[in-house]
Amino acid sequence: MKYPLTIAAIALAALMPPAEAAALRDSGDPLASARWSEMQKAFLAGAPVLFDPRVKVIAPSTAENPMQVPVTVDASGLPGVVEVVVFADFNPIVQVLRFFPEGAQASLGFRVKLQQSTPVRAAARTADGVWHVGGTWVNTVGGGCTAPSAAGASKDWQQHLNEVSGRQWSEGPNAGRLRLRIVHPMDTGLVAGTPAFFLEEINFTDAAGQRLMRVQTYEPVSENPVFTLNRNLADGPVEANGRDNNGNAFKARIAP
């Protein structure tokens, strides 16, 4: 089903450069995916949809390692973002993650496992209920979702499960940036004899207890995931806490 442009979107298109306005008005899939209609029904059904160049998905056009494909989703140029969902059309497990920016910018870097070449998309929902969609094609040799994690070959990985390391920049060109790494196998459940075992939720809060971002993660996020986000303010420590689907919890404090 195709959704008409709202009056606000038409007005917005009139203020944008011609190339970006054309993308905004386009009611078809700019990535020409055979599964777009399925993706739309699964994640965006019942709401208006706009292909919007302000929702940027940055990833390599060709990924040599399908188990560790770097992706950055940046919707910080779109005002009023309340939720972002990331999905890969041709993955066996389509949904990658969701994030909810509150005191942080609507931007998140991470790595993903891809089973085959696919569009990787981000849909950002604004407060008016409109989904703004961006994406890019990533070509890869495949097999990322059905290959065993490296942790499975280690005898002592359980001793380091959910260990957290991080860094926060308080000055310079990266001021406000926060990077977090969590030791976790992120098993998809698609490897014979290995059940799904993955992080489910991560919360980032500032020193005053204000939530900066909530992230819901799913099986396609890469092993030992690394997340990069940008705070609106660069002062003070950040606390990260979360859990996996087996109830294992973690908590860490990252100082500037």
What's the rounded mean pLDDT across residues 157-185? 91
User: In the predicted model, is pLDDT for residue 251 greater than 70?
Assistant: yes
Look at residue 219 in the predicted model and tell me its pLDDT: 98
Please report the pLDDT score of residue 1 as a whole number: 36
Question: Is residue 2 one of the residues assigned to a domain?
Answer: no
The whole domain housing 160 covers 7-254
In a domain, 1, yes or no: no
Q: What is the pLDDT of residues 19-38, one digit of tens each?
A: 555 554 544 899 999 999 99
CATH number for the domain spanning 138: value is: 2.60.40.2470
For 62-106, write each residue's pLDDT tens digit.
Answer: 999 999 999 999 999 999 999 999 999 999 999 999 999 999 999
Note whether residue 170 is domain-resident: yes
Query: What pLDDT, on the 0 to 100 scale, is given for residue 10?
Result: 45
The pLDDT of residue 17 is 57
174 within domain boundaries: yes
Residue 148 maps to a domain:
yes
Chain segment 39-60, per-residue pLDDT in tens: 999 999 889 999 999 999 999 9
Q: Is residue 198 part of a domain?
A: yes
Joined tokens for residue 121: 């998309």
Instruction: Give the predicted TM-score (pTM) of the model.
Output: 0.88
pLDDT at 41: 94
152 neighbors 194 (Cβ within 8 angstroms)? yes
Identify which of 93, 105, 98, 65 has the alpha carbon closest to the alpha carbon of residue 83.
Answer: 98
Q: Per residue in 193-236, pLDDT tens?
A: 999 999 999 999 998 899 999 999 999 999 999 999 998 766 78
Provide the pLDDT confidence category of residue 154 given band limits of 50, 70 and 90. Answer: confident
pLDDT higher than 60, residue 7: no
* pLDDT at residue 245 tops 50: yes
Query: Is a pLDDT exceeding 50 seen at residue 115?
Result: yes
Quote the percentage of the chain above a pLDDT of 90: 75
Task: Compute the distance between CA of residue 48 and CA of residue 132 in angstroms, rounded to an integer.
Answer: 9
* Domain assignment of residue 197, yes or no: yes
Mean pLDDT of 141-151: 88
Residue 195: exposure state from Cβ atoms within 10 A (0-12, 13-18, ≥19): exposed
Residue 99 forms part of a structural domain: yes
Calpha distance 2→48 (Å, rounded): 8
Domain count of the chain?
Answer: 1
Chain-centroid distance, C-alpha 202: 12
